Structure 1
């Protein structure tokens, strides 16, 4: 698929999404359109899988109906295979295309959509979405599909004041989506996955401060993913303790040939659902991902596991309990101090360090304050550098590149077994960006520059510097980037004597001008203005 075709598809989906918008805000109509796209994906996967199984019976999945001899046995055989391989099951009449056709009624040949020609499908559709979840009950995939469609309330008055109005808008959306080919048969393409990521990004840009709950800008995701995969072509595991929509985990997978297992935790229920959908929709088998819904710091769900790559964009300076009981928690006990309750930044760092494998790399985004604030945070920084020597690099990013906040941020990279234990690399990339409307955006060249500088540990004037541990100690573990990367631009030297001569010349010119004006005034027999 060409870039132009890709853009056309993205615009089509965005137009369909806006059909639903009405009076809903961005994150509300997001849940509906992404849910419908996900349902279409599950249906197409189900039909492709079943048709392959039924080849030997010389029948297609949609041809199975109660009138067909042995239909129940065929369905049961397909269901058993589907639950094992796909993790869910849909009946032929529950497929997206079949529902869209029923809802579309007699509109198929019309250029203009006529609501009077639609059939009522709301009850059927709600039952089908419930049945997808019910089909997994008692199987390995039950947790992955549990309440996956709970945010899609088809009886919500936000979709329309009356059942008929709601049915009309949903039938219209399904009809439009049914005409789009996501090319699932082409295993080399991830058309649907890319389109889904595009929509998530579009919704994030319109969600203001709430965007940070579920989305990290793709440019930042690329940097984090490239940093933690440096020198590796395969990963046993990748983990994100604040995984949002799961996009950052999936971005890591694009940087290597294979990721065996994905792990994540997300506190927000709606975003947790989005993350599971995103995993399945990108072709990650239900056995290969384990996404949990809980507060990561207060109730961690993967406490005994360690991961080869860890990435995160935690909520900046979030509050947490800092309960004294955590001083005996293995994640925090060795440091002697907990991160302050008003700023959980280093609590996330400590949590991630605990889960980092000996051969692993972790990279996370933090506000700049985490680099220099005193008190408990300074104590934790000192422990990580002096006692453990885990900090590998500090990278300053431009301001205003995250949705919902304009503050400048940084990336901190940690390793337990560092190849360069005698210094810490500082990179100041804060001035490398392109301004697009009100947002600053990292260009591909900016990303490459950061990643290559990190991988080669290159020192570039006014951009990067390898600071010795002695320098860090002398700065009392203050990691503020300008202390190490000198970006000072000296002003041009001024020739005082030349300036003095210029001023004298100006004085002479003014005296001559005053004399000329006085002569004119005398000729005109008027008073001089001075």
Structure 2
């Protein structure tokens, strides 16, 4: 079976689970995402356990019926098996597998007692590996009580059986064997109806893959080992996944924080599907700005697409206290008299990122393009600090509508504590890309060649007319710390050498053309006057 067939098969499974939800009145319900993502996660954990168990225990790998063979293993072999699996997969007992639930799906009170009970036990017994923590250290549960999403108690058993029936005829085992790296595609398909880049109250942002790929390729320009990677506003983890793939999943540890529980759950699933489950204990649900969970750490790489505008007036006064001044060195945005939702919280994230970088740390931050040219205020102070500290590696101004549901123009600021202050790269990619319709919105899509052009300009320090320019620290200071490439492009006037005879000929032609135009104008004036004289009052 090919990779495309695997993807098609898995998407069919996801569509089947959505169909079950629709048939039981939960289509487009607020609970649908939780059901789909959690049942899919259970299927993944089940098949990953079977795959790892077969590699360890010959009796299981040779058995025609894995479920029966596992149930009949002596207790000491079962315990040894679970110990050997370690953190490679969830530790599942025979009565926690999908096959066992399917064989017992006709038992009374199946939904609440068996289906939900099994998921609760799996969550409790694997809490150290798979649970996301809150800022206070409280571990969350992996699974909700799925059956209870159905209000009609008489329908709960049938609902859980219907979900289970979709799982038994699909196997991920072959996918693990072939080592296909396609779960990023599956994850995107899984969440496509439940996530947006427009953000909500707490801004569950979804960063376009083109932006994420460009950021990762520019940041990771060489080998990296034992790297600590951080996103203080992680969302579903698109940026983290891309940089982890660029570094190598085994060569990095992920850290993140996001105030949204929905985003934390998405990120957990994304880490599991991308073989990064060892980082799940570092995923924190909390308020990065007010109570950062990772403040005692410094990071090798930081990526972020922070919310640009958000009302943080409830705790703005706390941020102005002395204990926050080192982190927010450039200041804290004031509370406006109206439109509190427009408070520029991204300026706090930029300062937090600068504070969190290790001695040789690198960062890439998505910002509104207005940030790179603001003449005063916190924006100007941050830019000045980046230049004076010699931390600015470069800036890429992206095309408009690179995010489908917002018209805000964005740029990517690249920070490097070992940056070359004599060769800062500024790129104007605003004219690249092709406009397409996505739903009701216009979106700009970059081709692979255009993505590579941006990456090469940054990594190879290429200067290209009207696209990229290399500037020095002193030149940036002279331009009031502007990070806009367009302000540094050379204005070129083309001169063409001509002879005196050619000049005389051109002038004669101009005079002749003008004389003809003047004559035509005079004729028109006469006709207009004649027409005016012919007008009569009736």
Q: Distance in 1 between matches of 2:360 and 2:56?
A: 42
Q: Which residue pairs with 2:363 in the alignment?
A: 362
Q: Which residue pairs with 2:231 in the alignment?
A: 240
Q: Distance in 1 between matches of 2:306 and 2:110?
A: 44
8 A Cα contact 2:132 2:283, kept in partner: no
Q: Which residue pairs with 2:479 in the alignment?
A: 475
Choose from 439, 446, 449 the match for 2:453: 449
Structure 1 position 508, deviation (Å):
8.3
Q: Which runs of 5+ in 2 are unaligned?
A: 336-342, 495-508
Q: Distance in 2 between matches of 1:99 and 1:497?
A: 94
Structure 1 position 48, deviation (Å):
2.1
Q: Which residue pairs with 2:181 in the alignment?
A: 190
Structure 1 position 407, deviation (Å):
0.9
Q: Which residue pairs with 2:338 in the alignment?
A: none
Structure 1 position 302, deviation (Å):
1.3
Q: Distance in 1 between matches of 2:70 and 2:5?
A: 37
Structure 1 position 475, deviation (Å):
2.6
SS in 2 for 1:383: helix
Residue deviations 1:226-283, cap 9 Å, x none? 1210123545221111111223212112223442311111211121122122212222
SS in 1 for 2:207: coil
Q: Distance in 1 between matches of 2:204 and 2:510?
A: 57
RMSD: 3.9
Choose from 308, 323, 335 the match for 1:328: 323
Q: Distance in 2 between matches of 1:482 and 1:465?
A: 9
Structure 1 position 203, deviation (Å):
3.5
Q: Distance in 1 between matches of 2:447 and 2:163?
A: 35
Q: Which residue pairs with 1:396 in the alignment?
A: 397
8 A Cα contact 2:363 2:415, kept in partner: yes
| More off after superposition, 310-319 vs 166-175 | 166-175
Residue deviations 1:88-146, cap 9 Å, x none? 3222232134435655x7xxxxxxxxxxx999535422111111111135x56665794
Residue deviations 1:168-201, cap 9 Å, x none? 4543343234333433432521244431233234
Tell whether 2:166 aligns with 1:171: no
Structure 1 position 3, deviation (Å):
6.9
Q: Distance in 2 between matches of 1:299 and 1:509?
A: 80
Residue deviations 1:295-353, cap 9 Å, x none? 111111111212211111111133444435554347526x3634556212222112112
8 A Cα contact 1:297 1:348, kept in partner: yes
Choose from 251, 271, 282 the match for 1:259: 251
Against the structure 1 CA distance between its residues 213 and 336, is the aligned structure 2 distance closer, same or farther, given a 3 Å change threshold? closer
8 A Cα contact 2:433 2:447, kept in partner: yes
TM-score by length of 1: 0.80
Number of equivalenced pairs: 495
SS in 1 for 2:230: strand
SS in 1 for 2:289: coil
Q: Which residue pairs with 1:293 in the alignment?
A: 285
Q: Which residue pairs with 2:32 in the alignment?
A: 29
Q: Distance in 2 between matches of 1:410 and 1:310?
A: 16
Residue deviations 1:407-442, cap 9 Å, x none? 111100001111x21242211111211222132222
Against the structure 1 CA distance between its residues 463 and 336, is the aligned structure 2 distance closer, same or farther, given a 3 Å change threshold? closer
Q: Which runs of 5+ in 1 are unaligned?
A: 106-116, 519-526
Q: Which residue pairs with 2:308 in the alignment?
A: 316
